[in-house]
Amino acid sequence: MNGEFQLAAREMHARAPTARDLAVVFFRHQRLFAVTFILVLSAGLLYSLLSASYTSQMKLVVRRGRIDPAVSPTQTIPPQQNAMITEEELNSAVELFRDEDVLRAVVADSGLADRRSWISWLRKGTVQQREERAARQLSQELEIRPVRKSQVITISYHSRDPKLSATVLRSLADVYLTRQAHHRSRHAR
């Protein structure tokens, strides 16, 4: 009985396909493989072109912080409240939105590092590595630009999920305002 199992194992091993056997099958059905490849590729491209994409947009007016007048027994001239923001100050605010710490905080707050995509199974790593990749991706996907000759910054984010688009911009605004408030309170001391 034991000999029958060994004989069956040898026959199974002798029937195992080799690389040459697989190549023969591929070359015999070359057209079928080519047509299948083209159909799958075109279906993927068609889906990416026709599927919905949502854009969230936010406009931010940049102003100088509140200027507290000095308290003195004599009458003082009140400081100018509506001074125009310079182009350098506006560009500085734009760069603050692109700051790595701000982007990481947005990634952590909105859960971008935990999103699953079709390629995410290839990119495994620690939580910190996923957050770094998500922050780099967010930096590329955010469209931040100052409006010419104004004090306005326009920020846009595109996503296939409308809730995610809104959540990312809401989180970005919260992180920015928190940093600004912290910065102002630190300089007020």
Structure tokens at 55: 């854009």
Concatenated DSSP letters for 34-76? HHHHHHHHHHHHHHHHHS--EEEEEEEE--PPP-PPPP-SS--
In the DSSP assignment, the letter for residue 98 is T
The set of long-range contacts for 181-188, using a CB threshold of 8 Å and a minimum separation of 24, is 184/65
pLDDT level of residue 88 (50, 70, 90 thresholds) = confident
The domain locations on the chain are 2-50, 54-64+82-188
Instruction: Please write the tens of the pLDDT for every residue from 127-166.
Output: 788 888 888 888 888 999 988 888 889 999 988 888 888 8
Instruction: Please write the tens of the pLDDT for every residue from 22-34.
Output: 888 888 888 998 9
Cβ neighbours, 10 Å, residue 156? 16
Residue 151 and residue 144 in contact, taking contact as beta carbons nearer than 8 Å: no
